[in-house]
A and B are shown apart, each in its own frame.
Chain A
Amino acid sequence: MSVRAPLPIRSLALFSLLAALAGLCALSVTIGSRDVSWSEIVAGLAGHNDTIGEAAVALRVPRTLLAVIAGSALGLAGAVMQGVTRNPLADPGILGVNTGAALAVVVGVAWFNIVSTEAYVWSAVAGAGCSAVLVYALGSVGRDGATPLKLALAGTATSIALASLIIAVVLPRNDIAGGIRSWQIGGVGGASYDRILPVLPFMAVGLAISLLSARQLNSLALGDDMAAGLGERVPVARAFAALGTILLCGAATAACGPIGFVGLIVPHLCRLLVGLDHRWLLPISALGGACLLLLADILGRIIARPAELDVGIVTAFVGAPFFIWIVRQQRIRQL
């Protein structure tokens, strides 16, 4: 008798997602608000930008790369957050982590004149960390600790408060309002290698920490007492995993603004595919997040031709109904 979960299904899911990601990358390079010929695509990929078409293709490469990186970061961060808090509604957006990162960036831009992407990333990670601690502290008040419902409420309230602070900071500053607004909606459109490279180290460390926390998340899923009984240092495990998500969310937010719902949707869909084992769920969620954000970006380019819809708007359009669906399914019970 085998007591292990079906490996073939998981491997199949892994390879299908990899194939889907490859396909979407190809689409992302070829599809845009401007039609380009195949020869231009090939030339653009090879690094030429002699024609407008070739230049457009050359611009789509870093854009695709950023969508893949940010999407996988958000998908993974969402899966880890849902595991750490045992909360099916956990998401970098809902728990206020992305808004905290955004506020820190906005404050940096408005008051400290930060311009470099490095400075964006450091402030975003710091902001994400502060808001995560704040939300967790608010959500843990009371005897039964950080229940899913209290965390979601604390996160939503914090998120709204921080968002209004962002407006308060930006409103009197006409000089920065335009740039902040387009960054804030969340986009991968203006991606360049200069914007991607500084983010990579944070992403890499966040990715490593998050993937390493899979085993701990598996025992935390059985309740804190049971996890402790299985030999886990519960607070340490929780803080370690949270650190991973803070790095991922901070870096993703610095690079493309707060993008919502990817972290909420992706882990739920991936759980249907590969089950509850975080050792599979986390990498699959990263892949799924990359696919979803890339798809949203491609759709954004097609729907509003010849203009483009920012990816954050597209994910919100898909994500909001999905959010309502989860709540209506009464899946608010603990994971």
Chain B
Amino acid sequence: MSARSLAVEKLWARYDEADVLRDLDLVIPPGRITVIVGANACGKSTLLRAMSRLLAPQRGQVLLDGKSIHRTPPRQLAQVLGLLPQSPIAPEGMTVADLVSRGRHPHQNLFSRWTRKDDEAVEGALAATRITELAERPIDELSGGQRQRVWIAMALAQQTGILLLDEPTTFLDVRHQVEVLDLLVDLNHSRRTTIVMVLHDLNLAARYADHLVAVADGRVHAAGRPQDVLTSDTIRQVFGVESRVITDPTSGRPIMIPLGRHRILDANVDKSAVEETCP
């Protein structure tokens, strides 16, 4: 699957009659993992919705291989751009295999029959997410982590070069969060899928992103390697919180520690730094 280019140009978008995105520019590196972070209501989910055609922009455009996605027929777009929304609905009693098969929807039309290729796509997606043995189970019986893997499998069966995910780790415990993110890295490596996701947890974001994007006030505040983006200055400007950033000995990626007002051991903190930043 060839890597495709996705870019956002001078995008203005509204949500609930307020301009949420204001003149936002962003280039998604093909074949890499991009993670979007930002404070609540900064527009990161709106950005993802605009990029996946769920939301029509007021001005500006989202370009896929140089062509506006809002001028691409939806079915054609769905063959190259996949989306896992925040709260998809699993119909009661539906089996895993049945749900994952629905990912083939954009590749079929009214008269086409289910083919060997569709079967292979579904089997491949089940295997890649390691849920083959759950195939015949109803989704309502699965745990939250398993269920999220089913949705990812469905997005994989869609076989798109780009996959957008809106907070795929919400409501999962830490083990399942790591499991889901590891799985996405696997897919990025094995299929060269371009992954763009919104994450809440800054440390997981810095750990798993190749390209970290911090959104504030409807614009991209900083974008680049996690080491360059996750600094205490950026964190203060984007989230309005003081923090210390250290290097994670396991991954070599930055980790942020919020300072707050309590439970700080004086000996461990460079007090002058705190005073300097909190006048």
Contacts and interface: CB of A to CB of B under 8 A. Distances in A.
Interface stretch (B28-36, B93-101, B218-226, B227-235): B93-101
Contacts of A275: 93-94, 98
A271 B79 CA distance: 30
A331 B105 CA distance: 27
Contact of B105 (A3, A230, A334, A335): A230
A3 B74 contact: no
B83 A226 contact: yes
A60 B233 CA distance: 84
Given A3-B97, A228-B53, A231-B75, A219 B85 contact: no
Given A223-B85, A333-B92, A231 B105 contact: yes
Contact of B158 (A86, A230, A271): A230
13 contacts: A4-B119, A5-B95, A215-B108, A221-B89, A222-B89, A222-B91, A222-B102, A225-B86, A229-B83, A229-B85, A231-B105, A276-B94, A335-B92
B17 to A, nearest CB: 12
A212 interface: yes
Nearest to A335: B91
Given A1-B132, A231-B76, 15 more contacts: A3-B126, A4-B101, A5-B98, A86-B89, A219-B105, A222-B89, A223-B85, A223-B88, A226-B85, A228-B54, A229-B52, A230-B158, A231-B105, A275-B94, A335-B91
Nearest to A3: B97
Interface string B68-89: 0000001111110011111111
Contact of B74 (A86, A212, A226, A233): A233
B145 interface: no
B18 interface: no
A233 B72 CA distance: 12
Which 10 A-B pairs have CB atoms at the shortest separation, nearest pair first? A231-B78, A229-B83, A225-B85, A231-B75, A231-B106, A223-B89, A3-B97, A226-B88, A230-B105, A231-B74
Contacts of B75: 231
A278 to B, nearest CB: 10
Contacts of A331: 92
B101 to A, nearest CB: 6
A230 B91 contact: no
B103 interface: yes
Contacts of A5: 95, 98
A277 interface: yes
Interface string B153-189: 0000010000000000000000000000000000000
A118 interface: no
Question: For B90, B91, B99, B110, which residue has the most chain A Cβ atoms within 10 angstroms?
Answer: B91
Interface in B23-62: 52-54
Contacts of B53: 228
A161 to B, nearest CB: 31
A308 interface: no
B88 A225 contact: yes
Contacts of A1: 123, 132, 135
A143 B17 CA distance: 12
Contacts of B106: 230-231
A33 interface: no
Question: For B75, B87, B89, B102, which residue has the most chain A Cβ atoms within 10 angstroms?
Answer: B89
Interface string A36-62: 000000000000000000000000000
B89 A226 contact: yes
Nearest to B94: A276
Contacts of B52: 228-229
A276 B139 CA distance: 13
Given A221-B89, A226-B88, A230-B102, A215 B74 contact: no
Question: For A4, A86, A271, which residue has the most chain B Cβ atoms within 10 angstroms?
Answer: A4
A244 B131 CA distance: 38
Nearest to B125: A3
A218 interface: yes
Contact of A3 (B84, B108, B135): B135
Contacts of A229: 52, 54, 78, 82-85
Interface in A257-296: 271, 275-277
Contacts of A221: 89, 91
Contacts of B135: 1, 3
A221 B93 CA distance: 12
Contacts of B132: 1
A4 B158 CA distance: 16
